[in-house]
Amino acid sequence: MDREPTYGATFVRHLAKLGRHTPYRYEDLQQVKAMSQTELADWIKRECREFSEVIRDNPAEVAAEMVHKRRAELATSSPAACAAECAVSFLELLAHLFS
């Protein structure tokens, strides 16, 4: 019997599909993939309350699209800033994008 994917796994899969890559730390992505919607929202809340609410109020695909959109906007406005941001953790990036 197949288990339904977690909210986090759906989020990471959709984010990867949108960006064709995930420049986040592998450890962060593995942790996110294992989380339910509530767990992910609580984990993110410590660093980024705004995005935590996005997680709580939206399907995983919508949340991933918002991250992808914000990263694209950042890349367009400052390619050097985007390159530097790719080296940070997933939580640090979300805090930067949604602050």
pLDDT at 82: 52
pLDDT at 58: 97
Tens of pLDDT along the chain (99 residues)?
568 899 999 999 998 888 766 667 788 888 999 999 999 999 989 888 989 999 999 999 999 999 888 888 877 776 555 555 554 577 777 777 776
* Both tokens assigned to 47: 């660093």
What is the DSSP secondary-structure string of the chain? Answer: -PPPPPHHHHHHHHHHHHHSS--S-HHHHHHHHT--HHHHHHHHHTT-HHHHHHHHHS-HHHHHHHHHHHHHHHHHH-HHHHHHHTTS-HHHHHHHHT-
pLDDT at 67: 87
Q: Which pTM was predicted?
A: 0.78
